[in-house]
Amino acid sequence: MSGLALNNVTKEFGTFTAVNNVELMVPHGTFVCMLGPSGCGKTTLLRMIAGLDLPTGGAIRLDGEDITHVPTHKRNLGMVFQSLALFPHLTVGENIAYPLRIRGVPKEDQKKRVDELLSMIHLSGYADRPVAKLSGGQRQRVAIARALSISPKLFLLDEPLSALDAKLREAMQVELRQLQQKLGITTIVVTHDQREAMTMADTVVVMKGGEIRQAASPIEIYRRPADTFVADFIGSTNLLEAEADGTGAVAVLGQPVSGVSLGAGVRKATLSIRPEDVHLTAPGNGALSGTVTFVRDLGGTIETFVDIAGRQLVAVSTPRARPDVTVGQPVGVVLLPDVCVVLAK
């Protein structure tokens, strides 16, 4: 099958396991974001795909060929580093032409390809500038162009946008995604920014402690998180303890709710409900009863903090659907069954 396959990939540093038995299939042409807190093994995994670190176990296959022990320079990949690693002694054009020069591509073809890439990254005419004279966003683009100049089989990026300011970062996310779709290149990005992952990825791989917790489309990850870590890490969520008594009746935070099922035989579980799915009504009528403790009006969204039996729950609404509440007021919280995700304890 074409694409990248990781089979039981493991990396141990002494007694510490940085990456533990990772199984992942990246079909040709997809954009994968590896997401997780720092130290979750995502960068180590990327470095193993690039061949900069060797796995201590398992195999890496590219288009069916085992590349686990193929040296980095023979893997025909493009990689963008967090530090960008542009060569300071070369100009913009020479940086982009470096992979071509190393492969002995004729000078005229190099120049043609550099011009092509420069226009792709909107930096035509910058070929002769030293890299030190560029702005952060421009350097970013040059690093991307350099990694793409041989039309690699794999395009790897390690926290590529972390050095940019927030606005530029958002713009670059869109640009990167559009570029990837245009080129149809298999791309793997490591990031700790879940917004970045949601913006760009076909598949988000959430990692923690060297293991993949969930690998799915961004919306699936958001709507159907596999466990409490994923639910909490992607976006914000309300995690509520639920108990079933075995007869079908379910209690959330000690209060009975109707319509929610924890599944056959499950006595204890956690419900994840996104703030925008929390529906506030008048108390009673089978709703959870709580008290409004704080209202944060951000203009575009309104966050209402509700205290239910000592647990805090957040509801987000738009100004059009502004809940008619004030601090200290008792309020009812409706948990619609189709937006509640039941997560095993």
Partner 1 sequence: MRREAPQKLSDYGPLFFPATMLIVFFVVPFATMIAVSFFQRQQGGFYVPAFQFANYERFLSLFFANVLGFSLMLAVTVAICCVVLAVPFTYLLTRMRRKVQIVWLVALLSVLSLSEVIIGFAWSTLFSRTAGITNLLVMAGIMSEAKALLPSFGAVLTGMVYQAFPYTVLVLYPALVRLDPTLTEAARTLGASPIKAFFTVVVPALRNTITATLIMVFIFALGSYLLPQLLGRPQHWTLSVLITDQAIYQSNMPFAAAMAVFLVLVTLGLVALTVLAGRKGEAA
Measured CA to CA, the distance from residue 264 to residue 171 in angstroms comes to 46
**Shortest Cβ 79–partner 1 spacing (Å):** 4
Element (H, E) at 276: none
78 part of the interface to partner 1, by CB under 8 A: yes
Calculate the alpha carbon distances from 33 to 123, 167, 218, 237 in Å.
27, 20, 9, 21
Measured CA to CA, the distance from residue 205 to residue 13 in angstroms comes to 22
**Shortest Cβ 72–partner 1 spacing (Å):** 4
- Number of chain residues interacting with partner 1 (CB under 8 A): 28
Q: Residue 204's closest CA among 234, 249, 183, 179?
A: 234
User: Using the rule CB under 8 A, which residue among 72, 301, 312, 318 binds partner 1?
Assistant: 72
Measured CA to CA, the distance from residue 319 to residue 187 in angstroms comes to 39
Segment interacting with partner 1, rule: CB under 8 A, options 10-18, 44-52, 167-175, 186-194: 44-52
Segment interacting with partner 1, rule: CB under 8 A, options 16-24, 65-73, 212-220, 244-252: 65-73
98 part of the interface to partner 1, by CB under 8 A: yes
| Radius of gyration for the alpha carbons in the chain, expressed in angstroms and rounded | 25
Segment interacting with partner 1, rule: CB under 8 A, options 74-82, 115-123, 198-206, 322-330: 74-82
Residues 115-174 that bind partner 1 (CB under 8 A): 146-147, 150, 156
| Number of helices followed by number of strands (H, E) in the chain | 8, 20
Pairing of strands 288-297, 330-334: antiparallel
**Shortest Cβ 159–partner 1 spacing (Å):** 12
Residues 100-119 that bind partner 1 (CB under 8 A): 101-103
**Shortest Cβ 139–partner 1 spacing (Å):** 13
Bridge-partner residues for 216, per DSSP?
Answer: 204
Residues 6+ apart with CB under 8 A from 45: 6, 9, 11, 19, 22, 34, 190, 207
Burial 192-205 (b: 16+ CB within 10 A, else e): bbbebbbbbbbbbb
83 part of the interface to partner 1, by CB under 8 A: yes
Query: Where do runs of H (alpha helix) occur along 132-185?
Result: 136-148, 166-183
Nearer to partner 1, 81 or 305 (CB): 81
Say if CB 110 and CB 100 are below 8 A apart: yes
79 part of the interface to partner 1, by CB under 8 A: yes
Element (H, E) at 106: none
Binding flags for partner 1, 220-239, as an x/- string (CB under 8 A): --------------------
**Shortest Cβ 182–partner 1 spacing (Å):** 22
Nearer to partner 1, 134 or 239 (CB): 134
Phi then psi for residue 45, to 5 deg, are -60, -45
User: Using the rule CB under 8 A, which residue among 71, 246, 300, 310 binds partner 1?
Assistant: 71
Residues 310-339 that bind partner 1 (CB under 8 A): none
Nearer to partner 1, 147 or 179 (CB): 147
Measured CA to CA, the distance from residue 56 to residue 329 in angstroms comes to 58
Segment interacting with partner 1, rule: CB under 8 A, options 79-87, 248-256, 266-274, 303-311: 79-87
Q: Rule CB under 8 A: which residues touch partner 1?
A: 50-52, 71-73, 75-79, 81-83, 85, 87-90, 98-99, 101-103, 146-147, 150, 156
